[in-house]
Copies of this chain bind each other. A is one copy, B any other.
């Protein structure tokens, strides 16, 4: 019985089932870095960044969208691990002194604080390339599907996705003056990888094109909600509460800084509702994903 079918047949205790998926994912992440001789310092840095405590939202999202049967459970975990490696690589780099200059991440010193900048950067490249290696080698997936998965991840993480978002965030944030521009940045920085994760889950289960589009729309709204919730938390939580530096945004334009917490919270909730409608349209099981949204988003943004 696959993890998802446990969740669905239970109907209750969803949070603990998500904890089961997360635990298996943690094991998979560690396994997938054990590929043979690696300089010890580099391997420690990769482990430090990748195996630190994390919600693992993107791989869990991928897993829940894919609703894997027994044959595909391991594959869904591997594919989620690949997405998590790309995400972790982006965090290592975002935290560097020349970018956000952060000291804490995932309840640990940032990778450059613990291992120096050079090894931190190299560990990010190691994780990024490993992600594409994992996808290329997925044994249970037809090669044509693997190339489609790799293309989705490359587009989302590259110079028209995550990388573009970080560039705008660092060097062009002052040009953003309205909600559309801020949300375009949020899309690049966060939405693109959420959408890639969900789309990869949809591709893995071979959903038809129109349902993949609903999945993409769902994840786009989820990603936008998540980034706005993150901006809200940056203003209100402490480092010890969320495990990373807060108030790093400074005077950066966000929905919170431009329009205030109240409107940002409203926008966040609108995106969550739109995400749920799109999820229903996609035909993917709503329950487990809704539980994730409730736990990690609704509970965090709070009410007015």
Contacts and interface: CB of A to CB of B under 8 A. Distances in A.
A154 B130 contact: yes
Contacts of A36: 160
Contacts of A146: 143, 147
Interface in A133-173: 133, 135-137, 142-144, 146-148, 150-151, 153-155, 157-160, 163-164, 166-168, 170-172
Contacts of A143: 142-144, 146-147
A167 B39 contact: yes
Given A38-B160, A42-B163, A121 B133 contact: no
A125 B122 contact: no
A208 interface: no
A164 B99 contact: no
Contact of A119 (B117, B118, B167): B167
Given A126-B163, A159-B46, A159-B126, A133 B151 contact: yes
Given A146-B147, A159-B42, A121 B96 contact: yes
Contacts of A159: 33, 35, 38, 42-43, 46, 122-123, 126, 129-130
Interface of A: 33, 35-39, 41-43, 46, 89, 93, 96, 98-99, 116-119, 121-126, 128-130, 132-133, 135-137, 142-144, 146-148, 150-151, 153-155, 157-160, 163-164, 166-168, 170-172
Given A125-B158, A130-B154, A147-B150, 8 more contacts: A36-B160, A37-B160, A98-B116, A119-B167, A122-B163, A125-B163, A136-B147, A147-B147
19 contacts: A37-B160, A38-B164, A41-B167, A41-B171, A46-B159, A89-B125, A93-B125, A98-B121, A118-B170, A122-B167, A124-B125, A125-B157, A126-B159, A126-B163, A129-B163, A130-B159, A137-B147, A143-B143, A143-B146
